[in-house]
């Protein structure tokens, strides 16, 4: 197993508070400011920062992020914070703080896009304004449920239900009331979009630190093109330090002929040591393919 290697064991990634705790405090503070504004200042905060049809009609795309930090009532924020606090700590430990924040806001944005488009197309059924962190939290729950399918969740703090079962129920209910909108106060389409985004996050393997996020690949290719341009005639060439031979073995040997144990020892271990020494971004495309093959082998054991 990969987790048996010393350099793959979880290490502290940052100091201070977890992102889950920081965001919980931020959400409470923003809600307090909303209440102060509603009582005394009366600035059009919701018009600018809540999710409205203007997100698409006027290009106010920042609303896909900002609507996740606003809430309609103390009960609304309390319900979101309870689920966020419970599931957030687990997902943050698995993803790390950076990917956790991207997953939360990204799932929320996908949910906002689905809800917002329906608001533009069918305003009588989907309303004209949406606030709340529940779309992103729904995405985090989907990630949790797919990674911990057999974990028991106390529904309403009383009824024990398997996490994956609750995900199916939550998803089906959200889908039904998206297709059959009742005009209520729950943004079911946003929940559905968040759930689908969370499922996609796991299916693409983005919960693994060695699997690149799409824009990380773009950045790496840009750096490679820039490095090749530096080495052209007339430019100053800066050579990289010579890498050890065992780091190159993974990219050059035929791993299909190896047994499972030899594959992990000869192909995977050198790559993991390279990650420990130089970080995930130092890997070549071939080395990433080997890690993905290793993950497939592990799931079949």
Q: Which residues of the chain register pLDDT less than 70?
A: 1-15, 219, 230-257, 279, 281, 299-301
pLDDT value, residue 241: 45
pLDDT value, residue 262: 77
User: Residues 246, 268: contact at Cβ < 8 Å?
Assistant: no
pLDDT value, residue 257: 61
CATH 3.40.50.300 fits 16-203, yes or no: no
Write the pLDDT tens digit of every residue in 260-272. 777 777 888 888 8
Classify strands 152-155 and 159-162 as parallel, antiparallel or unpaired.
antiparallel
Residue 178 in tokens:
């998206």
pLDDT value, residue 36: 97
pLDDT value, residue 180: 95
Q: How many CB atoms lie within 10 A of CB 231?
A: 11
Buried b (16+ CB within 10 A) or exposed e, 241-263: eeeeeebeebbeeebeeeeeeeb
d(CA 227, CA 121): 47
Rounded to two decimals, the pTM is 0.74
Write the pLDDT tens digit of every residue in 229-248. 765 655 544 444 444 444 44
d(CA 95, CA 225): 29
pLDDT value, residue 226: 76
Residues of the chain with CATH 1.20.1540.10: 16-203
pLDDT value, residue 271: 82
pLDDT value, residue 244: 44
Write out the H or E segment, with its range, that includes residue 24.
helix 19-36
Helix, strand, coil in percent for the chain, rounding step 5: 70, 5, 25
- Degrees to nearest 5, angle at CA 287 with 286 and 293: 90
User: Residues 179, 122: contact at Cβ < 8 Å?
Assistant: no
pLDDT value, residue 301: 56
Assign 79 to helix, strand or coil: helix
């Amino acid at each position: 197993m990969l987790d048996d290697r010393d350099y793959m064991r979880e290490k502290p990634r940052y100091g201070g508070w977890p992102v889950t705790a920081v965001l919980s405090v931020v959400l409470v503070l923003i809600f307090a400011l909303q209440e102060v504004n509603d009582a005394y200042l009366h600035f059009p905060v919701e018009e600018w920062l809540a999710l409205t049809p203007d997100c698409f009609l006027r290009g106010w795309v920042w609303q896909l992020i900002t609507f996740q930090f606003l809430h309609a009532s103390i009960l609304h924020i309390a319900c979101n914070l309870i689920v966020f606090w419970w599931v957030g700590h687990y997902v943050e430990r698995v993803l790390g703080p950076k990917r956790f924040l991207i997953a939360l806001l990204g799932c929320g944005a996908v949910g906002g896009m689905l809800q917002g488009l329906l608001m533009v197309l069918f305003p009588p059924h989907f309303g004209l304004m949406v606030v709340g962190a529940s779309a992103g939290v729904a995405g985090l729950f989907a990630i949790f449920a797919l990674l911990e399918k057999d974990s028991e969740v106390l529904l309403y703090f009383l009824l024990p239900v398997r996490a994956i079962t609750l995900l199916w129920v939550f998803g089906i209910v959200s889908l039904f009331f998206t297709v059959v909108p009742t005009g209520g106060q729950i943004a079911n389409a946003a929940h559905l979009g968040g759930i689908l985004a969370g499922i996609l996050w796991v299916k693409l393997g983005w919960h693994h630190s060695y699997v690149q996020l799409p824009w990380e690949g773009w950045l790496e290719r840009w750096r490679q093109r820039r490095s090749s341009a530096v080495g052209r005639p007339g430019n100053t060439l800066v050579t990289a330090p010579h890498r050890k031979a065992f780091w190159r073995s993974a990219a050059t040997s035929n791993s299909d002929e190896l047994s499972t144990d030899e594959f992990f020892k000869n192909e995977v271990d050198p790559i993991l040591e390279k990650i420990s020494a130089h970080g995930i971004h130092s890997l070549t495309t071939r080395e990433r393919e080997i890690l993905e093959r290793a993950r497939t082998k592990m799931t079949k054991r």
